[in-house]
């Protein structure tokens, strides 16, 4: 499995029905440095201070604590899965509310099922038979006696029919009302309402696109480029940019299919595509008494396939006047439809700070943690309290922000082609806060051994980091991501804040193909590789000297203290002669000498074969520098490391092995030019056989990938049919060349 994060281990606890999760140091909603009026101290801040200053755990079910908390619900059901279900369960337990999880057959052993007080199976793995199955969820509510439902995001979170069904069943929906959701959750109607509310909007067609011909007519009228996007739902699903007529026809088909698969609704709208914009959104929250708040903005411009990858709050781009104008327009829109609960108004902002309404997500947003970081407000708790008919305890004047926060989304994807990966996580490590500032927060729904399925979104974790300044937050993010073994966006352009929705496409036009090692980075990688080899070799000698055990005295009495090695990286770099020497009796410090680089001392505490190596390198002419590398796997004559988000196969030879290696014959590469391979594990949606057009469409994790013939060929054999499940690199279609003379 090719996954963006691997090699992990995290210890989780199953919590009892009456316990409260407040002693998880890597998960803090607020920070003690925020000074607010006394009336601002609702229970999320109380909990936070209990976490920092009080006992290790507090039972919110005790009578002594109940007097400080207004009663909400006894039991809620979370109609979702993964990290967002875990996120809601945490706040519910903090508030002393019992929780019910629902799960599909594929999620029977998932973390949200383990953490909930009760769990109900709602059907097979496909989402339309489980998480989108309203009758099955209603039955789960009835059988458990849940009083309210939190929908998370995605699935039924913006389905007004679900809200109506809950209302008829006498169950509270923790979210907006049916009418507001129907109006604002539908992108076509919401755009019309936005205009009526005095909100700036993008030019486009304010109706439903009937078919591909109608789409062509609209696109030609609006002017290219255009954006085709699903009327229902969000999250980048069912969205395509078209620059010409052919891309409109192709995009209409794929976008409508993705929309139907993700939201059960294939309606599309078309609007003018604003090239190179920033994507900035405003969080709003409203109670049932007419009180509406808008929060500081979140910038979500780092995207791929119109899906967010890295978000930050606040934005480097907005000035106070623009921030206030955007917040006031967002509040006007919410007020116009009598909106209740949490929602997010998304805008596109051009280079002159002109902003245009994009859509409103009538639910909790994926990236809400960074708003919680800079404001100290638990948004999930506010949603629950509002649903229980409680007033907002703060005003717009109270709502200030402090510091900077980033969210990095961890996807189960190939980082080069952005294609989904599936399989089991054999190991899993989440980074943790290293100080009492709680500067690192992980929202995830997986543990070691979890299965990454083809049926659901590839998002598996949200890594949020905080700093007093933007640079501090970025540095914390980079350190945390290094520990997470994931690609790090560390370019000067990113640091400067000069970003747009085209950032990834411009920085990595062919996808992220990995870090190129040269100069200083090559020196670091070779040095750490020499260290790893020496440590592993000493371990082997300990076993030999100990005669099969590591518990005897005088281990390593025959072990070497010097090594003359030839180290190569990925067979791309010619072997480099490296001389390694152990410093004294310390097996954690070594001297490294290699051509064209200064003498280097490397020290590290690395329990052998464990994933993370935290090392310190120092040279005669430089200050010491810290380095975090991931040890992935042993190889026959070396090992695999991950460095700066890229996997490298390290080959280590001694002098004799190096001399003989020139006689090793390379295995010829297999000719795959006449084969159409599946780029990802998934399900075959359709097949076609005309040269130059679609050969097949493969869908996984609600994303479709179109495969085309690269040249005029004859179809020799078709190995699959629509509906088949396929593996990555499985042969779908076999081709043969066409004789040009016939």
Q: Enter the tokens of residue 463.
A: 């890594």
Q: Enter the tokens of residue 181.
A: 């959701």
E-strand ranges in 201-352 read 204-205, 226-230, 239-242, 268-272, 278-286, 292-294, 298-304, 307-313, 341-349
Distance from the Cα of residue 4 to its chain's centroid = 10
CB neighbours of 364 closer than 8 A, spacing ≥ 6?
A: 84, 152, 153, 157, 175, 342, 379, 380, 383
User: HSE-up of 690 (CA within 13 Å, CB side)?
Assistant: 2
Question: Could you tell me whether strands 694-700 and 682-687 are parallel, antiparallel, or unpaired per DSSP bridges?
Answer: antiparallel
E-strand ranges in 468-556 read none
Nearest CA-CA partner of 233 in 280, 193, 185: 185
Alpha-carbon distance 253 to 268, whole Å? 10
Q: Enter the tokens of residue 7.
A: 């090699």
Alpha-carbon distance 725 to 204, whole Å? 38
E-strand ranges in 392-445 read 404-411, 413-414, 419-420, 423-424, 440-444
Rounded to 10 degrees, what is the CA torsion of 208, 211, 212, 216?
A: -50
Q: Enter the tokens of residue 286.
A: 């409203």
Angle formed at CA 44 by CA 41 and CA 49, multiple of 5 degrees? 80
Is residue 359 among the annotated active site residues? yes
Helix (H, G, I), strand (E, B) or coil at 446: coil
Q: Enter the tokens of residue 542.
A: 């300990």
Nearest CA-CA partner of 46 in 12, 96, 88: 96
**Among the options 359, 367, 372, 413, which is catalytic?**
359
Distance from the Cα of residue 592 to its chain's centroid = 38
- Alpha-helix runs per DSSP H in 338-392: 368-375, 379-387
User: HSE-up of 164 (CA within 13 Å, CB side)?
Assistant: 7
Alpha-carbon distance 486 to 705, whole Å? 24
Kindly list the catalytic residues.
Answer: 359
């Amino acid at each position: 499995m090719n996954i963006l994060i691997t090699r992990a281990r995290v210890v989780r606890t199953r919590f009892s029905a009456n316990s409260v999760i407040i002693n998880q140091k890597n998960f803090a909603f607020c920070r003690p440095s925020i000074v607010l009026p006394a009336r601002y101290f609702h229970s999320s801040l109380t909990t936070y201070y209990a976490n920092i200053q009080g006992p290790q755990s507090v039972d919110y079910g005790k009578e002594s604590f109940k007097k400080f908390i207004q009663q909400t619900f006894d039991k809620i059901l979370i109609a979702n899965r993964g990290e967002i279900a875990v996120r809601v369960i945490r706040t519910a337990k903090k508030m002393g509310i019992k929780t019910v999880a629902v799960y599909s057959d594929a999620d029977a052993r998932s973390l949200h099922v383990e953490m909930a007080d009760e769990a109900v199976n709602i059907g097979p793995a496909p989402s339309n038979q489980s998480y989108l199955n309203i009758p099955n969820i209603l039955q789960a509510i009835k059988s458990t006696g849940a009083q309210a439902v939190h929908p998370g995001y995605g699935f039924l979170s913006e389905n007004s029919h679900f809200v109506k069904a809950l209302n008829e069943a006498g169950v509270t929906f923790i979210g907006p009302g049916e009418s507001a959701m129907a109006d604002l959750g539908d992108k076509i109607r919401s755009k019309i309402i936005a205009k009526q509310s005095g909100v700036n909007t993008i030019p486009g067609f304010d109706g439903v696109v009937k078919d591909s011909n109608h789409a062509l007519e609209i696109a030609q009228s609006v002017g290219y480029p255009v954006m085709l996007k699903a009327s229902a739902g969000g999250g980048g699903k069912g969205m395509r940019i078209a620059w010409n007529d052919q891309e409109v026809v192709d995009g209409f088909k794929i976008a409508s299919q993705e929309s139907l698969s993700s939201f059960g609704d294939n309606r599309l709208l078309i609007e003018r595509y604003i090239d190179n914009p920033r994507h900035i959104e405003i969080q709003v929250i409203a109670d049932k008494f007419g009180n509406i708040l808008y929060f500081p903005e979140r910038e979500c411009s780092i995207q791929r396939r119109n899906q967010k990858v890295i978000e930050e709050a606040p934005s480097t781009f907005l000035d106070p006047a623009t921030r206030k104008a955007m917040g006031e327009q967002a509040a006007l829109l919410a007020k116009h439809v009598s909106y209740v609960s949490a929602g997010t108004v998304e805008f596109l902002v051009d280079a002159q700070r002109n902003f245009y309404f994009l859509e409103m997500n009538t639910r909790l947003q994926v990236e809400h943690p960074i708003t919680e970081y800079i404001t100290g407000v638990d948004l999930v708790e506010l949603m629950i309290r509002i649903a229980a008919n409680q007033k907002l305890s703060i005003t717009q004047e109270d709502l200030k922000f402090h510091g900077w926060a980033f969210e990095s989304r961890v996807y189960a994807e190939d980082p080069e082609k952005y294609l989904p990966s599936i399989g089991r996580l054999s190991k899993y490590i989440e980074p943790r806060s290293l100080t009492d500032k709680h500067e690192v927060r992980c929202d995830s729904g997986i543990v070691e051994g979890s299965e990454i399925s083809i049926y659901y979104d590839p998002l598996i974790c949200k890594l949020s980091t905080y700093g007093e300044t933007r640079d501090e937050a970025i540095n914390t993010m980079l350190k945390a991501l290094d520990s997470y073994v994931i690609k790090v966006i560390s370019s000067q352009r990113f640091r400067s804040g000069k970003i747009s929705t085209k950032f990834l496409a411009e920085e990595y036009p062919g996808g992220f193909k990995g870090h190129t090692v040269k100069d200083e980075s090559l020196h670091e990688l070779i040095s750490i590789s020499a260290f790893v080899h020496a440590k592993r070799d000493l371990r082997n000698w300990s076993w030999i000297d100990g005669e099969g055990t590591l518990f005897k005295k005088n281990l390593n009495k025959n072990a070497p203290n010097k090594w003359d090695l030839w180290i190569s990286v990925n067979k791309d770099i010619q072997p480099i002669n490296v001389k390694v020497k152990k410093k004294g009796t310390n097996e954690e410090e070594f001297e490294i000498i290699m051509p064209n680089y200064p003498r280097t001392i490397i020290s590290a505490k690395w329990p052998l074969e464990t994933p993370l190596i935290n090392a310190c390198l120092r040279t005669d002419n430089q200050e010491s520098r810290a380095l975090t590398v991931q040890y992935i796997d042993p190889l026959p004559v070396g090992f695999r490391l991950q460095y700066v988000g890229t996997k490298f196969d390290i080959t280590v030879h001694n002098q004799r092995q190096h001399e003989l290696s020139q006689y090793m014959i390379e295995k010829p590469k297999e000719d795959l030019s006449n084969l159409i391979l599946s780029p990802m594990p998934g399900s075959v949606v359709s097949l076609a056989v005309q040269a130059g057009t679609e050969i097949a469409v493969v869908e996984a994790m609600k994303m479709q990938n179109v495969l085309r013939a690269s040249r005029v060929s004859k179809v020799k054999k078709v190995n699959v049919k629509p509906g088949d499940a396929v593996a990555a690199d499985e042969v779908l279609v076999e081709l043969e060349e066409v004789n040009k003379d016939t």
